[in-house]
Amino acid sequence: MSTFGQLFRVTTYGESHCRSVGCIIDGCPPGMELEEKDIQPQMTRRRPGQSAITTPRNEKDRVAIQSGTENGRTLGSPICMIVQNEDQRPKDYGNQTMDMFPRPSHADYTYQEKYGIRASSGGGRASARETIGRVAAGAVAEKYLKLAYGIEITAFVTSVGNLHMFPPTPECPTPSQNPEFLKLLETINRETVDKFLPVRCPNEEASEKMADLIAEYKEREDSIGGTVTCVIKNVPSGLGEPCFDKIEAMLAHAMLSIPATKGFEVGSGFGGCEVPGSIHNDPFIRSAETAAPESGAARNGIPRPKLTTKTNNSGGIQGGITNGAPIYFRVAFKPPATIGQAQTTATYDGDKEGILAAKGRHDPCVVPRAVPIVEAMSALVVIDALLQQMGRHEAVRQLPSNNKSMQPSDNGVSMIQ
Amino acid sequence: MSTFGQLFRVTTYGESHCRSVGCIIDGCPPGMELEEKDIQPQMTRRRPGQSAITTPRNEKDRVAIQSGTENGRTLGSPICMIVQNEDQRPKDYGNQTMDMFPRPSHADYTYQEKYGIRASSGGGRASARETIGRVAAGAVAEKYLKLAYGIEITAFVTSVGNLHMFPPTPECPTPSQNPEFLKLLETINRETVDKFLPVRCPNEEASEKMADLIAEYKEREDSIGGTVTCVIKNVPSGLGEPCFDKIEAMLAHAMLSIPATKGFEVGSGFGGCEVPGSIHNDPFIRSAETAAPESGAARNGIPRPKLTTKTNNSGGIQGGITNGAPIYFRVAFKPPATIGQAQTTATYDGDKEGILAAKGRHDPCVVPRAVPIVEAMSALVVIDALLQQMGRHEAVRQLPSNNKSMQPSDNGVSMIQ
Amino acid sequence: MSTFGQLFRVTTYGESHCRSVGCIIDGCPPGMELEEKDIQPQMTRRRPGQSAITTPRNEKDRVAIQSGTENGRTLGSPICMIVQNEDQRPKDYGNQTMDMFPRPSHADYTYQEKYGIRASSGGGRASARETIGRVAAGAVAEKYLKLAYGIEITAFVTSVGNLHMFPPTPECPTPSQNPEFLKLLETINRETVDKFLPVRCPNEEASEKMADLIAEYKEREDSIGGTVTCVIKNVPSGLGEPCFDKIEAMLAHAMLSIPATKGFEVGSGFGGCEVPGSIHNDPFIRSAETAAPESGAARNGIPRPKLTTKTNNSGGIQGGITNGAPIYFRVAFKPPATIGQAQTTATYDGDKEGILAAKGRHDPCVVPRAVPIVEAMSALVVIDALLQQMGRHEAVRQLPSNNKSMQPSDNGVSMIQ
Amino acid sequence: MSTFGQLFRVTTYGESHCRSVGCIIDGCPPGMELEEKDIQPQMTRRRPGQSAITTPRNEKDRVAIQSGTENGRTLGSPICMIVQNEDQRPKDYGNQTMDMFPRPSHADYTYQEKYGIRASSGGGRASARETIGRVAAGAVAEKYLKLAYGIEITAFVTSVGNLHMFPPTPECPTPSQNPEFLKLLETINRETVDKFLPVRCPNEEASEKMADLIAEYKEREDSIGGTVTCVIKNVPSGLGEPCFDKIEAMLAHAMLSIPATKGFEVGSGFGGCEVPGSIHNDPFIRSAETAAPESGAARNGIPRPKLTTKTNNSGGIQGGITNGAPIYFRVAFKPPATIGQAQTTATYDGDKEGILAAKGRHDPCVVPRAVPIVEAMSALVVIDALLQQMGRHEAVRQLPSNNKSMQPSDNGVSMIQ
């Protein structure tokens, strides 16, 4: 379905060439300051036409809030946000060849199989424009997370093709064992990431090489994939709902719902399979962390968890529940399916072979523009888990416990003492 | 929450040391033959104590159907299935040390943070016994999928530690480009997999090495991770619900909800990021496939999709929707957290450091027993997507279309013609 | 939440004085002809300013489809529909008195209690303008129901104040035992209902008396309640999901979610409690009904149920499942809370008593305009239950049954033979 | 589906003649004392065989908690509760006549239409035994509601046949205008109700007459309907989720999902339609109420709402949200369909008329036993709305507001100040 989340519930709509695209958020906490200028920056980071290595489709992507706020504050009612589709060029796509032949590895064929009909041009619902509603909703979620708990979400590009920022080695099969990587997680933020435009890989040398590689693929009308890594800091402990809605399960769901994704790994990930348990286990140590300054939680005197871990192969999650350490994960994006090169394919009914050369506008590599989308989806997962845990915490707080050791302290959403 | 699925909805219950564990299935198609003997084989493949390299906890894990069937047929009403917890040994766990110190990388600390209370012994809800309800429900789903469409789901072990069945190479960064791997997907089945017990890696040499490696880790009271690959064959085209509930998103959600998982990749996966689009794209060709014999779909004359793809980097999924080619994916399992070696950790309140040596019973490597769990969760994802698409197909069939080309033929769940 | 339905899922947004109001439909069957002209008639029947006895707020309520259709056909993707708020007059409401004093029996106080903030003017989310999204979505659902099964939904006013079209008598405590009422159910349609504007009570004498009564209440700046009865014809058998989502439970949920409703009764209803079981039970008889002509079901040769009932105290529903006979129910609407008369109330903090005389624009009696809203919500319930049952029917059809008597015939959504 | 609730989610299972019936609760607040003895009293109030005027089926209905608690406290994990089916007598039902003929107004025919199969004996899933899981879950919910907020839920019988405890009069068309009724709501509790066994109508004269009437219907092998009124006291303000999940919509959904129900009215209900707005509106006055003593909310110093209403035609709900005044509503139960008298009906295929005389065991009037079921479903609605609002309240509490007047005070779940 086009709905994501239980308590902060986002429903998106829109195809590549319809009147508008957008979303409705249901369940946003009331009383939060919210204006279009809070949302626009991420829209702009996502929008096409940002640089020579992104699609030339030119959309301003100005978001307009329709409902759910008054005098710059949320009312608690549904927030509808709309972006007009302006630079539609259906003719780029709607030619006779493309009507007869499904584009290889694109969604033309499967949409036709599923619905018995498909949008005649562009990617329809499978277009990247579908992600606009996600990014708008994510920006609202992020604002709350920042205000309430100082939660910071930052994504960045960690590989393009076979150029890796932190390549695995036999000794160190996963970046989670690489001190340089762990240090980067601590310091990285969006301002830094955007200094490395157009690629958004926060390492000068790697970034330049990646830009060159993308340009190379663009020139030969080909495409290439890459990975995006994301870190979420200042997350309270106790988020994530066992057993099916573990926080990593929700993150995996969210990430694999982004177009063109092929993989997800959290913490030590695939490389962690090669590390012995005795090294992989993260010893608990006393936490030195204090609540994020300026956050509501800090002003309300809510402490951070008492423990943290010495290493963080767990990626901040144990048993599907956050432990308060940074959450980090990596997402794989395949090479975009739409390429300019001629490709052999077959007609929808299989009767005829043919050659297809896509026109249209497309990115040779999606990872730079995927960065805000990964951030948005992360925010949607975290806020939903947070709201669920907040309700639980409040529910326990009203239980008159006769067993003092079980009485939760008033420390936000976690209940230990 | 403990509920999975929209139309074939499974709710599980149970901790490691309570009276029983199990599940309720809501939405199982009525009129299907179903007895306990249909479910027991997968329960037995999952159960502990199978071999020298699995946990010695001895549970018969006999499933008892409580409701939802009569005279060996499903009624369409909820099916409750129960397995008694027999070999509980709370004392193995509930010692004073373990009450004071959370086990590193286990769920002790986070459960306490989340709930303000935790099961005093064993893994509680985070125990692998929680997966019994999943496997029971998956077996019911599988039976339907096989009967109706001849769908076959087979998982097997593809790596233990750094021993890989199909190691990536610079030329071939992903198994999806390895002809030997693709051939294995076509032929593999559960009978073959179980010939390679105790590891369930269907390659004699690799399997033996893996068994030795696991035994080695067991001996030094350590643990090691690994990966499980799963293939789903004879899937109809058209399954998967854009945009958030893409079939790969649901599979990722399902897999990352299994305890101890750290990653998921579908089709070409992470390695696919390194392959140019011109090679990665899967050209469409006419399909030679016919419906699985003996299936209801075959008896009802429902054809398979007219197209398939020459290569299958997509893993049978395009735009979040199945195209009819085999779906395959890989899941990463970390080294089990519970190890016999002494580990440094801290008390729950962070006041004291301490040394913890876990007693209890545990697996040195979970992948062999994870195989039926991966299969079960796959079945739950596929049946839910299938039921959703079946409803859509039927809904379209009743539309009196005046546009002949849009009239879906009666070909099961896909609507193209 | 602002979402209704599982498979045909509607999310609405909008307050009385924001930019626009509307909805997103997720799950509409693809390939259906759909244009704004299909939706507008019900919008117009709902809109304010229709007559001297409705609110003078003047809104054209023109609906604009944003997405989900192309070339006049649904794509299966989300359909967003928007209506601009044009005739906003916040100043009518936003005066100092109304900021300090919650209006008696209105939602001012409870919204403030719930959200800690409220829309400063008009009803905010509690305004009747919230129902615009419902009516738009209902019109889409109705189109499908008509095309596929010839389902007809007609609501009409059956009482205003103590003027009843079918008053209960000791001998006949419920209209379900009144032949005249049952005959009306068979013949009534929207064209007939609208001949009795402005009240929409399809009986000349009653209608005139009701119009006079409403005018009387309007004159003295007071308000009065009434009831709306709704009948749904040509419903297939087998709709409704035991146990919690019985069709009458979903209808009750839907109706009591309409602003100003206070009661719901189905079939014999409250009066039926007074009828002995021996009379109340509906004997089964062979059905003479044939499928609605012109419907997709008729064209596909799908028969109507073989049985019907001689009487219909059940209101077409037994055990929470439709039996194919007409569904009918009655909904109670209270007198509107906003009246011109001065009323004593208290400040939000309870510190001060005060006198409040509502300005703003309001209806003296809501039942005439409630008619299309009741129809819309009925359509949303029926289409969701229908899509669920269609999926089940299709699922059973693919089961290769070896028990011939259980093999469902291909008769639409019901499975008996 | 067989699932009810979003955050306190109950899934039930079981038919009349299967091994066991019961439920899983997901989302129960952790750390609450809970033992079987907390649940058994309501099970016993519901069970058959209580008196000469209920069905003679003899079931002890002993509930056994399977999971989710340890040492008498909830863990926050799913709570599975089971009741064995002991006194099954399938032969009472499974005779040839009943296999051929659907019982009039029972669910035999519609279950067969829906599922293509039905339980061969008893009511299957439509049996009243299905309500056991509801009552067990409701008892757990009630315990929380009582402990946390001192919420009290009491249902009682207000009519049997045409014998009404508070009959409508032209002057007073609804009990909500009857001072005697309003006074009863304030004082009534379960102990009082059970003094009026077997009918549970808390008025000696009415109760005796009703018992006689039921006995009369029993003697002539007939049945009769009645109504149950329910009051919920000490509810916090702010519960209920606009727009579709208004608290009265959820209550209506819950009540109409109970077998044999035909109607629901809240507050002034159907009679309220006849009362002018100027009288029907409930003036706000300062509240004198204090928090329920002994509750967690009282111990935490959480105040009750500052306002209440002078009259209570609203039934404690305005705009779909609780205002803190008592919620009350009435539910109509039809005469049970299973009666001993011979009835004319037709075979499933409509080919033959026949005479059916039901054997089996059944109640001549269900309202006395419906009392605990109505209470249970009320509790499930209230706890779910409460948990949703608690999460919202906690979420707002962490917003660093720079607008002091919007800063919610820490007064539990409502946010006004």
A121-155: pLDDT as tens digits: 667 899 889 999 999 999 999 999 999 999 999 99
Is residue C241's pLDDT more than 50? yes
With 0.90 as the threshold, say if the pTM is over it.
yes
Nearest CB to B274: which of A225, A318, A319? A225
- Alpha-carbon distance of A209 to A224, in angstroms, equals 14
- Nearest chain C Cα distance for residue D292, angstroms: 19
- Nearest chain C Cα distance for residue D333, angstroms: 6
**Where is mean pLDDT largest: C315-329, D94-108, D287-301?**
C315-329
Q: Is A9 on the interface with C (CB under 8 A)?
A: yes
Nearest CA in chain C to D363: C277
- Alpha-carbon distance of B257 to A374, in angstroms, equals 20
* Per annotation, catalytic residue among B108, B282, B363, B384: B363
pLDDT band at residue C313 using 50, 70 and 90 as cut-offs: very high
B118-151: pLDDT as tens digits: 987 667 899 889 999 999 999 999 999 999 999 9
Contact D32 A390 (CB under 8 A): no
- Alpha-carbon distance of B227 to B334, in angstroms, equals 9
Is residue B20 classed as helix, strand or coil in its secondary structure? Answer: strand
pLDDT, average across residues D200-229: 96
Domain count, chain C: 1
Closest CA to D382 of D200, D34, D192, D137: D137
The reported pLDDT for the residue numbered B121 is 64
Nearest CB to C391: which of B7, B144, B412? B7
Q: How many CA atoms lie within 13 A of A113 on its CB side?
A: 33
Domain span at residue B8?
3-397
**What residues in B contact D387, CB-CB < 8 Å?**
none
Is residue D320's pLDDT more than 50? yes
Task: Give domain status of residue A415, yes or no.
Answer: no
Give Cα D364 distance to the centre of its chain: 20
Angle at A272 between CA A270 and CA A277, to 5 degrees: 145
* Per annotation, catalytic residue among C17, C280, C362, C393: C17
Closest CA to D158 of D83, D227, D66, D257: D227
- Alpha-carbon distance of C69 to B341, in angstroms, equals 62
Contact D278 C343 (CB under 8 A): yes
Is D106 designated active site? yes
Choice between C181 and A170, residue whose per-residue pLDDT is larger: C181
A338-388: pLDDT as tens digits: 898 899 999 998 889 988 876 656 789 999 999 999 999 999 999 999 999
- Alpha-carbon distance of A171 to A310, in angstroms, equals 20
Contact C297 B398 (CB under 8 A): yes
Is residue D403's pLDDT more than 70? no
CA distances from A347 to A103, B144, B283, D20, D211 (A): 10, 33, 11, 56, 76
* Per annotation, catalytic residue among C106, C164, C222, C253: C106
pLDDT, average across residues C238-261: 98
pLDDT, average across residues D139-144: 98
Q: Element (H or E) spanning A279, and its range?
A: helix A277-280
CATH of the domain at A351: 3.60.150.10
The reported pLDDT for the residue numbered C54 is 65
Nearest CA in chain C to A12: C78
- Chains in contact with D, where contact means 3 or more Cβ–Cβ distances below 8 Å, are A, B, C
Is residue C8's pLDDT more than 70? yes
- Cβ neighbours of residue D29 under 8 Å, at least 6 residues apart? A392, A395, A396, A399, D74, D76, D144, D387
pLDDT, average across residues C85-102: 66
pLDDT band at residue B404 using 50, 70 and 90 as cut-offs: very low
- Chains in contact with C, where contact means 3 or more Cβ–Cβ distances below 8 Å, are A, B, D
- Chains in contact with A, where contact means 3 or more Cβ–Cβ distances below 8 Å, are B, C, D
Specify whether the CB–CB gap between A277 and B223 falls below 8 A. yes
Task: Please state, rounded to an integer, the average pLDDT across all residues of chain A.
Answer: 90
**Can you tell me the ipTM of this complex?**
0.95
- Nearest chain D Cα distance for residue A126, angstroms: 30
pLDDT band at residue C303 using 50, 70 and 90 as cut-offs: confident
Q: Is C233 on the interface with B (CB under 8 A)?
A: no
B58's tokens: 């001895």
Q: DSSP H helical segments within B247-403, as ranges?
A: 247-256, 269-272, 277-280, 296-299, 367-397
**Where is mean pLDDT largest: B337-341, C293-297, C307-311?**
C307-311
- Alpha-carbon distance of A264 to D359, in angstroms, equals 61
Q: DSSP H helical segments within B65-189, as ranges?
A: 90-93, 96-100, 108-115, 131-149, 179-187
Task: Give domain status of residue A224, yes or no.
Answer: yes
Specify whether the CB–CB gap between B269 and A261 falls below 8 A. no
pLDDT, average across residues D195-216: 96
Task: Give domain status of residue C414, yes or no.
Answer: no
pLDDT, average across residues C211-233: 96
Contact C2 D225 (CB under 8 A): no
pLDDT, average across residues B312-319: 98
pLDDT band at residue B92 using 50, 70 and 90 as cut-offs: very low
Using H for helix, E for strand and C for coil, what is the string for D292-317?
CCCCHHHHCCCCCCCEEECCCCCCCE
Closest CA to A130 of A250, A11, A264: A11
Total CB pairs under 8 A between chain C and D: 415
Task: Give domain status of residue C411, yes or no.
Answer: no
Is residue B110's pLDDT more than 80? yes
Contact C307 D249 (CB under 8 A): no
A19-35: pLDDT as tens digits: 999 999 999 999 999 99
Q: DSSP H helical segments within A15-130, as ranges?
A: 36-46, 90-93, 96-100, 108-115
**Percent of chain D residues topping a pLDDT of 70:** 89
Task: Give domain status of residue A155, yes or no.
Answer: yes
Contact A65 C19 (CB under 8 A): yes
**What residues in D contact B79, CB-CB < 8 Å?**
13
Choice between A303 and C7, residue whose per-residue pLDDT is larger: C7
- Alpha-carbon distance of A150 to A132, in angstroms, equals 25
Nearest CB to D26: which of B2, B15, B114? B2
The reported pLDDT for the residue numbered C45 is 94
- Which residues in chain A (265-294) have CB-CB distances under 8 A to chain D? 294
Least reliable range by pLDDT among B113-117, C50-54, D132-136: C50-54
- Alpha-carbon distance of C139 to C83, in angstroms, equals 14
Nearest CB to D117: which of B75, B80, B125? B75
- Which residues in chain A (146-185) have CB-CB distances under 8 A to chain B? 159, 161-162, 170, 173
**What residues in A contact D391, CB-CB < 8 Å?**
7, 387-388, 390-392, 394
pLDDT, average across residues D208-220: 96
pLDDT, average across residues D298-302: 84
Is residue B160's pLDDT more than 80? yes
Specify whether the CB–CB gap between C346 and C327 falls below 8 A. no
pLDDT band at residue C56 using 50, 70 and 90 as cut-offs: low
Nearest CB to B394: which of C391, C400, C406? C391
- Alpha-carbon distance of B124 to C61, in angstroms, equals 56
Task: Please state, rounded to an integer, the average pLDDT across all residues of chain B.
Answer: 90
pLDDT, average across residues A263-282: 97
B196's tokens: 């390679």
B96's tokens: 């004073």
pLDDT band at residue D56 using 50, 70 and 90 as cut-offs: low
Task: Give domain status of residue C139, yes or no.
Answer: yes
**Percent of chain B residues topping a pLDDT of 70:** 89
pLDDT, average across residues D255-264: 98
pLDDT band at residue A225 using 50, 70 and 90 as cut-offs: very high
Q: Is C15 on the interface with A (CB under 8 A)?
A: yes
C379-402: pLDDT as tens digits: 999 999 999 999 999 999 999 864
- Which residues in chain B (295-354) have CB-CB distances under 8 A to chain A? 305-307, 309, 313-315, 317-324, 332-337, 339, 341, 343-346, 348-351, 353
pLDDT band at residue C413 using 50, 70 and 90 as cut-offs: low
Nearest CA in chain D to B79: D13
**What residues in B contact D65, CB-CB < 8 Å?**
19
Q: Which residue of D67, D83, D84, D130 is the best one to mutate when testing the B interface, meaning the one whose CB has the most B CBs within 10 A?
A: D67
Nearest CA in chain D to C276: D224
Nearest CA in chain A to B417: A349
Is A92 designated active site? no
- Alpha-carbon distance of D24 to B292, in angstroms, equals 37
The reported pLDDT for the residue numbered C294 is 82
pLDDT band at residue B294 using 50, 70 and 90 as cut-offs: confident
Is C17 designated active site? yes
Choice between C91 and A15, residue whose per-residue pLDDT is larger: A15
pLDDT, average across residues D140-149: 97
- Alpha-carbon distance of D259 to D271, in angstroms, equals 25
Contact B66 D14 (CB under 8 A): yes
Contact B244 A416 (CB under 8 A): no
pLDDT band at residue B170 using 50, 70 and 90 as cut-offs: confident
Is residue C200's pLDDT more than 60? yes
- Cβ neighbours of residue C314 under 8 Å, at least 6 residues apart? C267, C268, C282, C323, C325, D105
